[in-house]
Chain A
Amino acid sequence: MEKMKLKLLYTDLKSDIDIIEKELENALNSSSHLINDASLHLLQAGGKRIRPVFVLISAKFGNYDIDNIKNIAVPLELIHMASLVHDDVIDDSDLRRGRRTVKAQWNNRVAMYTGDFIFARALEYVTAIENKRVHQILAKTMVEICNGEVIQIEDKFRVDQNLKDYFRRIKRKTALLIESSCELGAVASGLDEKNIRHLRRYGYFVGMSYQIVDDILDFTASDKELGKPAGSDLLHGNITLPIFYLKDHPIIKQFIEKASTGKVVEEDRLAMLKVVRNSEAIKQSIALSNQYLRKALKEVEALPNHQMKKKLRDIALFIGKRKF
């Protein structure tokens, strides 16, 4: 339902998104039937394709040419897909979006090779673009995403971390790739520096809000909506925004302690969820997400008049209100 609502937001981009979808299929085509099966498994799981959409919309502000822009939009989605395949190995996740993960369906090694294959295809694809700056932005993003994941592992179950640590983490985990999607779309379509900056900052703010909402939903959405047990983030030791407001709550403290030793039972999870859901932490987190969205909307205002401005606003508002 949510995905449909999002898709309605960019119906006028549908023909180009269909091209991207087709290109994703082509890019994942392999001589190995196992890689084909794993890739098809991933493609069928769908996804919001939010990164390619940001590339397309940003490019619309410049000299838009889908044959050129697809060479940015497709690799960005592939990089996102590949990192999810590897993340599932790291998090030992058996389910994603309600479907079995590659590592659960086959094994960790198959997931590693599939992820590496997709990463490689992403880079192969982007070499159709000769602009050195494009590659530098994308490469820096890939390295920083990894750094973010390393930090995330280091920060697991660390209760003495502060909000700055959290923001640093979600910036690299999510905001950077959305920021780069907007920036790269703008750069590849030859937009001027001032507007590239506005779009990049828009992407960053939206990305931060997107991850905060994701972190809220991990507590507030149902297991069915999430396609995995609610509260999984904290169960895996990831201290997300709502928990910063509840770190001193005895039930939360106890839950983190138990989770760090792998002793959580279903009753503990439900008790933890009840505390978070009934607390002010959710409202406070939403307020922070909205602050980022306001900043994003300010960047949109600074852009030249274009019908895509409305789209950027609508997507930002959708992100703030999405239910899962």
Chain B
Amino acid sequence: MNATYIQQAIEEFKNNISLHVRHRTLARYTGLPVSDESQLFYLLLPFLNGEQWDGQLEESAITVGIVHASLNEHDKIDEKNATSKEQQLTVLAGDFYSGRYYEILARLGNIPLIRQLSEGIAIRCEHQIKIYESTHYTLEEWYQSISVKHTELIKRFYQVYQFEHYTTFMHTNLLLLQLQKELQQLQNGKPSNLFMKMGESVSNDEKLLELKVLEEINSLRRLLNEYLQSSTFLKDELKLYIQQQLV
């Protein structure tokens, strides 16, 4: 197993997600479902690491990808004006994907995963809506919200299938990757709404925010390296792949 093999597995997984939510009209106006490859990697990690994996588990993992895609569609909705046909259908694409994940899990009779994912979605929404609240949050609280957005559903998937030993890697790595992405946007002068809101935690001092986030990134990077070095169950090729993604 090398990086190419892993990348191919992720690509195939992404295609499978698309196939499960195929819809002619939605595809024409909203395109293919949006998936984050790092999240897909962590959904596949137990399989890549040789854990017992069958068709039903694969399909369950696909539903987690579908839920992410569903919520990603709703993240595309403009705050003020969603009157275009494309935006209207984007709302429906998210709802349709949401119905499809439920339909697949209902067919499999996988009630525990339905429960875990719906709990996870509710928590994720509670964190995502924070940027519209007037409450003052600390940077640590914002990091937690970013983490919930990117890791909660995968964490729930791990819980259902007793893959919790992967949670630490997943949690640390996905938060780290997301902070790197957000920081880059900030440095390019195009901060996300979330980062603009985070700025309030440091009195809107952009330089200070950059510094603090960089500190957090470095701390997460150290932590992840420690985990990778001390892990006895993760295959070396996977450790290498994770490290390569950081570069």
- A and B bind: yes
Task: Assess whether A130 is interfacial by the CB under 8 Å rule.
Answer: yes
Contact of B119 with A120 in the complex, beta carbons under 8 Å: yes
Contact of B80 with A120 in the complex, beta carbons under 8 Å: no
Among B71, B95, B96, B115, find the residue whose CB has the most chain A CB atoms closer than 10 A: B95
Task: Assess whether A72 is interfacial by the CB under 8 Å rule.
Answer: no
Q: Which of B88, B102, B121, B126 contacts A142 (CB 8 A)?
A: B102
Residue of B nearest to A124 (CB): B118
Q: For the complex formed, measure the closest distance between the CB of B124 and the CB atoms of chain A, giving whole angstroms.
A: 8
Task: Assess whether B141 is interfacial by the CB under 8 Å rule.
Answer: no
Residue of A nearest to B104 (CB): A139
Cβ–Cβ < 8 Å partners of B57 in chain A: none
Contact of A136 with B74 in the complex, beta carbons under 8 Å: no
Cβ–Cβ < 8 Å partners of A15 in chain B: none
Residue of A nearest to B103 (CB): A139
Cβ–Cβ < 8 Å partners of A31 in chain B: 126
Measured in the bound complex, the distance between the Cα atoms of B74 and A304 in whole Å is 46
Given contacts A107-B132, A116-B98, A139-B102, contact A124 B107 (CB under 8 A): no
What string of 1s and 0s marks CB contacts (under 8 Å) between B28-62 and chain A? 00000000000000000000000000000000000
Measured in the bound complex, the distance between the Cα atoms of B77 and A92 in whole Å is 12
What string of 1s and 0s marks CB contacts (under 8 Å) between B68-97 and chain A? 000100100111111101001101101110
Task: Assess whether B122 is interfacial by the CB under 8 Å rule.
Answer: yes
Contact of B91 with A117 in the complex, beta carbons under 8 Å: no
Given contacts A92-B82, A124-B118, A146-B95, contact A136 B77 (CB under 8 A): no
Given contacts A34-B133, A154-B25, contact A108 B128 (CB under 8 A): no
Cβ–Cβ < 8 Å partners of B133 in chain A: 32-34
| Extra pairs beyond A90-B92, A123-B115 (8, CB < 8 Å) | A32-B126, A112-B74, A117-B126, A122-B118, A127-B115, A135-B114, A142-B95, A143-B96
Task: Assess whether A138 is interfacial by the CB under 8 Å rule.
Answer: yes
Cβ–Cβ < 8 Å partners of B82 in chain A: 89-90, 92, 108
Count how many pairs of residues, one from A and one from B, have CB atoms less than 8 Å apart in the complex: 142
Measured in the bound complex, the distance between the Cα atoms of B121 and A116 in whole Å is 8
Task: Assess whether A232 is interfacial by the CB under 8 Å rule.
Answer: no
Cβ–Cβ < 8 Å partners of A119 in chain B: 95, 98, 121
What string of 1s and 0s marks CB contacts (under 8 Å) between A27-55 and chain B? 00011111100000000000000000000
Measured in the bound complex, the distance between the Cα atoms of B79 and A139 in whole Å is 29
Measured in the bound complex, the distance between the Cα atoms of B112 and A146 in whole Å is 25
Contact of B119 with A124 in the complex, beta carbons under 8 Å: yes
Cβ–Cβ < 8 Å partners of A107 in chain B: 79-80, 132
Interface size on B, residues (CB 8 A): 46
The 7 closest A-B pairs by CB, nearest first: A135-B106, A142-B99, A120-B121, A139-B103, A143-B99, A123-B118, A127-B115
Cβ–Cβ < 8 Å partners of A263 in chain B: none
What string of 1s and 0s marks CB contacts (under 8 Å) between A112-136 and chain B? 1110110111111001001010011
Contact of B25 with A150 in the complex, beta carbons under 8 Å: yes
Q: Which of B100, B122, B130 contacts A120 (CB 8 A)?
A: B122
Task: Assess whether B1 is interfacial by the CB under 8 Å rule.
Answer: no
Residue of A nearest to B95 (CB): A146
Given contacts A106-B132, A147-B96, contact A120 B89 (CB under 8 A): no
Task: Assess whether A140 is interfacial by the CB under 8 Å rule.
Answer: yes
Residue of B nearest to A86 (CB): B91
Residue of B nearest to A146 (CB): B96
Task: Assess whether A110 is interfacial by the CB under 8 Å rule.
Answer: yes
What string of 1s and 0s marks CB contacts (under 8 Å) between A75-99 and chain B? 0000000010010011010000000
Task: Assess whether A16 is interfacial by the CB under 8 Å rule.
Answer: no
What string of 1s and 0s marks CB contacts (under 8 Å) between A197-226 and chain B? 000000000000000000000000000000
